[in-house]
Structure 1
């Protein structure tokens, strides 16, 4: 499992994040996603720690904390969802749903 860290400054580095999270345990990995087109950081990161207990301690301590002028959003990362169109086919404006809303 990993931790989602949101509302990060665009100036933050992997080392900055490692340093903060190391206060709560072993940091195994830090991922700072970048925009594919611009190469600019996207303002969030994923952190993997040594144990569930370390992750929980970091989440409890850092969620809502102010860091680098921003209030962090820190929680357990949710599994990535595939962005596949309905039914595995291509999207179409002619798609008609039988569901009533």
Structure 2
């Protein structure tokens, strides 16, 4: 075949389809039909839903806080699906943040509203959404 300066092929025969070979070529599967679980892609700005629920991020967590204490403090707002309180490997103290996943938007929203700027172990917790969807035009920073 030949490629001219206008970006066209000289030999039209090169565009003929080739026979597909291999196992499963002619089978229809859920994957080819697009049968995937998906997260809601509704328009607008707001909290993004994860696969199992809504994730809240807690910052300014005291380095000596225990997972059980955090769980007890935040479980009053609803069932906690997941709680991640990451430790510094070198010091074995909390890194200063925690991620909590609630099943419903209502539970997560209530936790944010009631626990943001609340004192825990002589430090004020900062509680907000871990993930937001849509445009982020006026996100407040906490440094």
Counterpart of 2:68 (choices 15, 22, 29) is 15
Distance 1:49 1:58 in 2: 9
Counterpart of 1:39 (choices 92, 113, 129) is 92
Counterpart of 1:28 (choices 81, 86, 98) is 81
Distance 1:48 1:61 in 2: 16
Distance 2:130 2:100 in 1: 9
Q: Which runs of 5+ in 2 are unaligned?
A: 1-53, 133-143
Aligned to 1:69: 122
Q: May I ask how many residue pairs the two structures share in their alignment?
A: 79
- TM-score (norm. length: structure 1): 0.71
Aligned to 2:59: 6
Q: Work out which of the two has the higher radius of gyration on C-alpha atoms and give 1 or 2.
A: 2
Q: Which runs of 5+ in 1 are unaligned?
A: 80-101
Any conservation in 1 of the 2:83–2:99 contact (CA below 8 Å)?
yes
- TM-score (norm. length: structure 2): 0.51
Structure 1 stretches (4+) deviating beyond 4 angstroms? Answer: none
Deviation of 1:78 (Å): 3.1
Greater relative contact order (Cα 8 A, min sep 6): structure 1 or 2? 1
CA RMSD after TM alignment: 1.5
